[in-house]
Amino acid sequence: MQRISIVIGVIAIVFFAGCEGGISKEKMASGKKVYQARCQSCHMNEGGGVPGMNAPLRGSQYVAGDKEKLISIVLQGSSAFGNDPSRHYQNTMPSQAVLTDEQIADVLTYVRNSFSNKGTAISPDDVKTAREKKK
Protein backbone atom coordinates (compact mmCIF):
# COMPACT_ATOMS: atom_id res chain seq x y z
CA MET A 1 0.00 0.00 0.00
CA GLN A 2 2.84 2.38 0.81
CA ARG A 3 4.37 1.79 -2.64
CA ILE A 4 1.13 2.83 -4.32
CA SER A 5 1.08 6.06 -2.31
CA ILE A 6 4.67 6.80 -3.28
CA VAL A 7 3.96 6.12 -6.97
CA ILE A 8 0.89 8.38 -6.90
CA GLY A 9 2.91 11.09 -5.17
CA VAL A 10 5.70 10.91 -7.77
CA ILE A 11 3.17 11.06 -10.62
CA ALA A 12 1.54 14.14 -9.07
CA ILE A 13 4.90 15.88 -8.65
CA VAL A 14 5.86 15.18 -12.26
CA PHE A 15 2.47 16.34 -13.54
CA PHE A 16 2.35 19.57 -11.56
CA ALA A 17 6.02 20.42 -12.11
CA GLY A 18 5.05 21.80 -15.53
CA CYS A 19 2.10 23.74 -14.11
CA GLU A 20 1.70 26.96 -12.21
CA GLY A 21 -1.32 26.75 -9.97
CA GLY A 22 -2.61 23.88 -12.10
CA ILE A 23 -2.23 25.89 -15.32
CA SER A 24 0.34 24.51 -17.74
CA LYS A 25 3.35 26.56 -18.74
CA GLU A 26 2.43 25.83 -22.36
CA LYS A 27 -1.03 27.42 -21.95
CA MET A 28 0.53 30.49 -20.31
CA ALA A 29 3.18 30.76 -23.05
CA SER A 30 0.55 30.45 -25.78
CA GLY A 31 -1.62 33.06 -24.05
CA LYS A 32 1.33 35.43 -23.75
CA LYS A 33 1.99 35.15 -27.51
CA VAL A 34 -1.63 36.01 -28.29
CA TYR A 35 -1.50 38.88 -25.78
CA GLN A 36 1.65 40.31 -27.33
CA ALA A 37 0.21 40.09 -30.84
CA ARG A 38 -3.37 41.26 -30.18
CA CYS A 39 -3.67 43.05 -26.82
CA GLN A 40 -0.39 44.56 -25.69
CA SER A 41 -0.48 47.62 -27.94
CA CYS A 42 -3.54 48.94 -26.05
CA HIS A 43 -3.35 47.27 -22.65
CA MET A 44 0.44 47.71 -22.42
CA ASN A 45 3.26 45.34 -21.51
CA GLU A 46 2.36 45.27 -17.81
CA GLY A 47 -1.44 45.27 -18.27
CA GLY A 48 -1.88 48.81 -16.98
CA GLY A 49 -3.72 50.18 -20.01
CA VAL A 50 -3.57 53.91 -20.76
CA PRO A 51 -5.54 56.14 -18.38
CA GLY A 52 -8.62 57.55 -20.07
CA MET A 53 -7.84 55.73 -23.31
CA ASN A 54 -7.53 51.96 -22.79
CA ALA A 55 -8.74 49.94 -19.81
CA PRO A 56 -6.24 48.38 -17.41
CA LEU A 57 -6.22 44.61 -16.99
CA ARG A 58 -4.22 44.68 -13.77
CA GLY A 59 -6.67 44.47 -10.88
CA SER A 60 -9.69 44.59 -13.19
CA GLN A 61 -13.01 43.35 -11.83
CA TYR A 62 -13.77 42.02 -15.30
CA VAL A 63 -10.54 40.01 -15.48
CA ALA A 64 -11.03 38.55 -12.01
CA GLY A 65 -14.79 38.16 -12.28
CA ASP A 66 -17.25 36.11 -14.26
CA LYS A 67 -15.61 34.05 -17.01
CA GLU A 68 -18.54 34.38 -19.38
CA LYS A 69 -18.55 38.19 -19.14
CA LEU A 70 -14.80 38.28 -19.80
CA ILE A 71 -15.15 35.99 -22.81
CA SER A 72 -18.01 38.20 -24.08
CA ILE A 73 -15.74 41.24 -23.92
CA VAL A 74 -13.21 39.51 -26.17
CA LEU A 75 -15.89 38.24 -28.56
CA GLN A 76 -17.84 41.51 -28.75
CA GLY A 77 -15.23 44.12 -27.92
CA SER A 78 -16.35 47.23 -26.04
CA SER A 79 -19.94 46.73 -27.20
CA ALA A 80 -20.19 44.00 -24.51
CA PHE A 81 -20.42 46.82 -21.96
CA GLY A 82 -23.52 48.33 -23.57
CA ASN A 83 -24.20 51.78 -22.12
CA ASP A 84 -22.33 51.22 -18.84
CA PRO A 85 -21.69 54.76 -17.56
CA SER A 86 -18.67 53.63 -15.50
CA ARG A 87 -16.78 52.76 -18.71
CA HIS A 88 -15.24 55.94 -20.06
CA TYR A 89 -12.30 55.16 -22.29
CA GLN A 90 -11.70 57.04 -25.52
CA ASN A 91 -10.66 53.97 -27.50
CA THR A 92 -13.08 51.18 -28.22
CA MET A 93 -11.91 47.61 -28.17
CA PRO A 94 -12.69 45.75 -31.38
CA SER A 95 -14.11 42.26 -31.34
CA GLN A 96 -11.49 39.53 -31.32
CA ALA A 97 -13.96 36.85 -32.47
CA VAL A 98 -11.60 35.90 -35.31
CA LEU A 99 -9.39 34.17 -32.73
CA THR A 100 -9.96 30.46 -32.17
CA ASP A 101 -11.61 29.20 -29.00
CA GLU A 102 -8.22 27.91 -27.85
CA GLN A 103 -6.47 31.23 -28.51
CA ILE A 104 -9.13 33.13 -26.54
CA ALA A 105 -9.00 30.60 -23.70
CA ASP A 106 -5.20 30.82 -23.56
CA VAL A 107 -4.99 34.61 -23.67
CA LEU A 108 -7.68 35.03 -21.03
CA THR A 109 -6.03 32.43 -18.80
CA TYR A 110 -2.76 34.33 -19.26
CA VAL A 111 -4.38 37.68 -18.39
CA ARG A 112 -6.19 36.16 -15.37
CA ASN A 113 -2.81 34.95 -14.07
CA SER A 114 -0.54 37.88 -14.98
CA PHE A 115 -0.22 41.52 -13.91
CA SER A 116 -0.81 40.61 -10.22
CA ASN A 117 -4.07 38.84 -11.15
CA LYS A 118 -4.84 35.33 -9.90
CA GLY A 119 -7.68 33.44 -11.48
CA THR A 120 -8.85 30.10 -12.71
CA ALA A 121 -8.16 28.88 -16.22
CA ILE A 122 -10.57 29.36 -19.08
CA SER A 123 -11.07 26.39 -21.36
CA PRO A 124 -11.80 26.30 -25.08
CA ASP A 125 -15.16 24.74 -24.13
CA ASP A 126 -15.94 27.81 -21.99
CA VAL A 127 -15.30 30.00 -25.04
CA LYS A 128 -17.27 27.72 -27.36
CA THR A 129 -20.28 27.84 -25.03
CA ALA A 130 -20.13 31.65 -24.76
CA ARG A 131 -19.71 32.00 -28.53
CA GLU A 132 -22.75 29.79 -29.17
CA LYS A 133 -24.89 31.87 -26.75
CA LYS A 134 -24.06 35.01 -28.75
CA LYS A 135 -25.41 33.58 -32.01
Question: Global pTM?
Answer: 0.83
Task: Identify which has the larger pLDDT, 132 or 17.
Answer: 132
Q: What is the pLDDT of residue 3?
A: 58
Q: What is the pLDDT of residue 82?
A: 83
Burial of 47 (0-12, 13-18, 19+ CB in 10 A): buried
The string of pLDDT tens digits covering residues 44-81 is 999 999 999 999 999 999 999 999 999 999 999 998 88
Half-sphere exposure of 124 (CA within 13 A, CB side): 7
Q: Distances from the Cα of 125 to the Cαs of 26, 27, 129, in angstroms?
A: 18, 15, 6
- For the chain, the structural domain boundaries read 24-133
Residue 134 amino acid letter? K
The string of pLDDT tens digits covering residues 70-119 is 999 999 999 888 878 888 899 999 999 999 999 999 999 999 999 999 99
Q: Which residues pair with 20 in a beta bridge?
A: 23
Q: What is the pLDDT of residue 122?
A: 98
> Which of 3-17, 25-39, 78-92, 97-111 bottoms out in mean pLDDT, i.e. has the lowest?
3-17
Q: Distances from the Cα of 102 to the Cαs of 61, 108, 121, in angstroms?
A: 23, 10, 12
Q: What is the pLDDT of residue 15?
A: 42
CATH topology of domain 24-133: Cytochrome Bc1 Complex; Chain D, domain 2 (1.10.760)
Task: Identify which has the larger pLDDT, 36 or 8.
Answer: 36
